Structure 1
Amino acid sequence: MLAYLLKRILLMIPTLIGVITLTFVVIQFVPGGPVEQMMMELKGRGGAGEASGGGAEYRGRRGVDPEKIKEIQALYGFDKPPLERYFLMLKRFAQFDLGQSYFQHRSVWELVKSKLPVSVSLGLWTFFLTYLISVPLGISKAIRAGSRFDVVTSIIVLVGYAIPGFVLGVLLLVLFGGGTFVQWFPLRGLTSDNWEQLSLMGKVMDYLWHLVLPITASVVGSFAVVTMLTKNAFLEEIRKQYVLTARAKGLGERRVLWKHVFRNALIPLVTGFPAAFIGAFFTGSLLIETLFSLDGLGLLSYEAVLRRDYPVVLGTLYLFTLIGLVTRLISDVCYVLVDPRIHFEGLHR
């Protein structure tokens, strides 16, 4: 096991470097970089301007003092050759230094930590509600496969899956957020303006009250995948020979289901559990956050791309890629813990 874990950890390094390198190369050819963005702001014109064809100079630089351009290039580190900037970036990342935002004048770590509570609120509630509802529902569907209950619930979860989250969010705002009908829930934010003056129970209720619409818009589309995965996993196990043998020996249906089927059927769910749980801390739906005015990681990444805030783009990409690789390794370890018959040597053959 230790040899396998060491091998996987060593393989993470070239994967991580490859992702960062590809992104770094791409942004070298994207017009409207941070220098041009600053030029446009200094000229008071706003926006990113337009890129002229034929390799001509970016319009944001026209009519600006060349010395001023050099100062801004030095400020952002663009006075150095791309290769030198690339290795400086790798050196910072190796020390877990994600860099400093060009435009928000804060470190990327601080920005991620400041936006994380919003994304955690959305992600964790979506994660827990999805598993708490979908797993029991999937088991019930497997036991009653082919029944009216199975057909009706399949239609419901698939319709929910087919409706985009932001469309459902708009509908919820129109119906329950004061858009056209009633205003039972707030339109924006995670807390009210008078949140600091509320009692402890009042703060909890206010927080949950603000979460109802965005969580509903986020979670409805998540039910189908976990529900159908649970159902199919249980159906596959129920039809196996060892279940027939257990029933032939006179074991009760409940004991067969929970003692023999349950553990084997949970393998595909458990292996995806760590990635889903860790991902809940860093997943942020841009459209949901924008629709309900929630300043989370999704909005941070989107604004960083628009403003060409490269330290934020590359820093968050590095962080999320690293977390993704680690959670994939944890999923493999969970595979073995759930089913000791599986060996590390055979996981990726």
Structure 2
Amino acid sequence: MKYYILKRILIIIPTFIGITFITYLMIRLAPGDYTSLRAGVEGELKAGALSKEIFEQEKKLYGLDKPIIVGYAEWFYKTVKLDFGTSRKDGRKVISHIADALPITLALNILSIIIVYIISIPLGIYSSIKKDTVQDRIISLTLFLLYSLPSFWVALLLLKYLSGGDYLNLFPLGGLYSDWFDQLNLFQKAMDILWHLILPVVTLTYGGFAFLSRYTRATMLDVINQQYIITARAKGLSEQKVLFVHAFRNSLIPLLTLMATMLPGLLGGSVIVESIFSIPGMGMLAFESILSRDIPIIMAITSISAFLTLIGIFLADIMYAIADPRIRLEAKQ
């Protein structure tokens, strides 16, 4: 088992380097960087002839005058020490921006994943039991219709009809806290945050129901047709025990790996959701940083998102190896 874990760790390192290097390369080669924008603005304020001089000063200040390999190596060395530099927009340490935004995004995404699993797995099991019946087709049609709806469109509809528009006023228009948040006690603060998170969580979760429930249905149907399930039924075990003790337990193995694959999609979707609902998380920070060409924050968000995704995949592999002895045997061989 330890060799299997070591192998997975060794895969993480070059993958992380590759992701961050490609991101750094794309940012450096992209037109219209931060120094060009700032030099243009200051050049207009001072004099047109000074614009080039300001541009060169800004490039030297942020290390953009160095070759790409050298610049990336310096960035990677600092990142290993958790030194992401300072924001070019406001001069704050990037790590302070991340410390404010990351817990919000993690809470939003973890809550979304939990809700997706709680709803999708029972739906998948029920669909496998009712295979090819009217109930199965209604569930499939409904979930695929939800899956086809764009998240930004659903978010705007929720804001229009449920958040202080011309219709219902059930939820806040945006943000994470109410104006009177400081006056609330601890329980009321928790309820206030949950109240603000309901619509963003709905927007993040509805699309995942179809994918996970259909996957659960497929794995359950595959397990139900195995010989040991037929044997369990022949021994006279109740259908409930056959399904939930034998079939469902064995179908959980593939579902473990999906937890890691859902995280990148949710992190990507949170950029749109957080921007629409004005939630000060990693998604909104990434969106604002891209608009302002704030390279240190963009690189920090990319590296942290890549690291979290790789760690999620690593943990899924470990759980898979623990649940399936065949993986441990192959790793040992």
Q: Same fold (TM over 0.5)?
A: yes
CA contact (8 A) 1:336 1:343 kept: yes
**Residue 224 of structure 2: aligned partner:** 238
2:49 maps to amino acid: G
Determine the structure 2 residue equivalent to 1:28.
28
1:212–1:190 Cα change, 3 Å: same
Per-residue CA distance 1:68-122 (angstroms, 9 max, x = gap): 3333233212344444322211221233322222223222222111112331342
Instruction: Identify if the C-alpha distance between structure 1 residues 25 and 209 changes in structure 2 by more than 3 Å, giving closer, same or farther.
Output: closer
- 1:315 aligned residue: 300
Residues 253 and 194 of structure 1: CA distance in aligned 2, closer, same or farther (over 3 Å): same
Q: How many residues align?
A: 332
User: How far apart, CA to CA, are the structure 1 residues paired with 2:67 and 2:144?
Assistant: 52
CA deviation digits over 1:228-266, x for unaligned, max 9?
111111111111111111111111111111221111111
After TM superposition, list the pairs within 5 Å mapping 1:68-87 onto structure 2.
68-87=54-73
Q: What's the CA shift for 1:2?
A: 1.8
| CA contact 1:92–1:98 (8 Å) conserved in 2 | yes
1:51 paired residue number: none
* Structure 1 match to 2:313: 328
The secondary structure found in structure 2 opposite 1:285 is: helix
Aligned to 2:236: 250
Deviation at 1:66? 4.3
Identity level (%): 35
Equivalence for 1:56: none
Alignment partners' CA distance in 2, 1:341 and 1:10: 21
The Cα shift of 1:156 comes to: 1.3
Structure (1 or 2) with the greater helix fraction: 2
Question: Which of 130, 133, 153 is the aligned partner of 1:147?
Answer: 133
1-structure distance, mates of 2:153, 2:42: 38
Answer yes or no: is the 8 Å Cα contact 2:43–2:49 preserved in 1.
Answer: no
Q: What residue is the counterpart of 1:52 in the other structure?
A: none
One of 171, 174, 178 as aligned partner of 2:157: 171
- Aligned equivalent of 1:300, options 270, 277, 285: 285
2:165 and 2:108 map into 1 onto residues whose CA distance is 22
Take 2:118 and 2:189, find their aligned partners in 1: how far apart are those partners? 25
- Give 1:56-71 correspondences, 5 Å limit: 63-71=49-57
User: Contact 1:185–1:209 (CA<8 Å) still a contact in 2?
Assistant: yes
User: Which of 224, 249, 262 is residue 248 of structure 2 equivalent to?
Assistant: 262
Cα 1:18–1:121 shift into 2, 3 Å: closer
| Paired residue secondary structure (2:159) | helix
Aligned match of 2:18:
18
Cα deviation for residue 286 of structure 1 reads 2.0
Mark the CA change 1:3 to 1:62 in structure 2 (over 3 Å): closer, same or farther: farther
Identify unmatched segments of 5+ residues in structure 2: none
Contact 2:39 2:52 in 1 (8 A): no
Q: 1:99 aligns with which of 85, 88, 93?
A: 85
Q: Judging changes above 3 Å, is the alpha-carbon distance between structure 1 residues 79 and 170 closer, same or farther for their aligned structure 2 residues?
A: closer
CA distance in 2, matches of 1:27, 1:281: 23
**Who is 1:289 aligned against?**
274
Secondary structure at the residue paired with 2:128?
helix
CA-to-aligned-CA distance 1:138-159 (integer Å, 9 cap, x gap):
1111112122221111111111
CA separation of 1:317 and 1:204: change in aligned 2, threshold 3 A: closer
Question: Within 2, Cα distance between the matches of 1:116 and 1:345?
Answer: 37
1:134 aligns with 2:120: yes
Secondary structure at 1:87 match in 2: helix
1:123 touches 1:283 (CA, 8 Å); kept in 2?
no
- How far apart, in 2, do the equivalents of 1:247 and 1:263 lie? 16
The 10-residue stretch of structure 1 (128-137 or 214-223) with the greater mean CA deviation from structure 2: 214-223
Query: Could you say what the CA RMSD is over the residues aligned between the two structures, in angstroms?
Result: 2.5
SS in 1 for 2:91: coil
Aligned residue number for residue 38 of structure 2: 38
Cα distance, 1:37 vs structure 2? 1.9
Look up the SS of the partner of 1:190 in the other structure: coil
1:342 maps to amino acid: I
Distance 2:132 2:325 in 1: 33
Q: Distance in 1 between matches of 2:74 and 2:320?
A: 38
Aligned position for 2:3: 3
Q: Which string of whole-angstrom CA distances, capped at 9 and with x for unpartnered residues, describes residues 257-308 of structure 1? A: 12211111111112223554x6699565222112211121112112222222
Q: Normalising by structure 1, what TM-score?
A: 0.86
Asked whether the equivalents of residues 200 and 273 of structure 2 are also in contact (C-alpha less than 8 Å), the reply is yes
Aligned AA (2:31): P
SS state at 2:327 partner:
coil
1:15 deviates by 2.1
